[in-house]
Amino acid sequence: MSLRRLAYTSQATHPFSRRELLDLLHDARGFNAVDGITGLLIHSHGRFLQVLEGEAASLDDLLDRLRRDPRHNQPEVILDEMVDQRVFEGWAMGSADLTDTDLSLLPGVRNDLDDPAVVRDLLARLPELREALAAALD
């Protein structure tokens, strides 16, 4: 299997409620589990940063869905590369909402990205995302 890593940023078309963020996460996990995609979704102040890993064709399908999704606009691919191994092995879709700490009570949702050690670890594993991750955390 050839493994591809893709990262993109996008802007929410409207302010997301907690319910809408949970629905988005639920949808992402469902599609990704079926398609063998792992990754991380970060939401902060109406911006999304998502890192995805999986087979190239599965990621192409996901990008097509994203471009048609009325919840996002201005999607911009910031990383697209073939890789040897996953950084997010076992993450059907890890998530961080940096504006709602109550969401951290749900499995797979993290709000610890304000912890410098966690951010350093992510950047060490994905140095090419340094700028995008820093912008998402501002």
User: What is the predicted pLDDT for the residue at 119?
Assistant: 59
User: What is the predicted pLDDT for the residue at 29?
Assistant: 78
> Going residue by residue through the chain (138 aa), what tens digit of pLDDT does each one get?
689 999 888 888 988 787 887 787 777 777 788 888 888 877 777 888 888 899 999 999 988 988 898 888 888 888 898 999 887 776 555 444 444 554 444 444 444 555 666 656 666 766 666 666 666 555
Report yes or no: 40 and 53 within 8 Å, Cβ to Cβ. Answer: no
| Domain range summary for the chain, segments of one domain joined by + | 3-137
User: What is the predicted pLDDT for the residue at 133?
Assistant: 62
Residue range 3-137, CATH number: 3.30.70.100
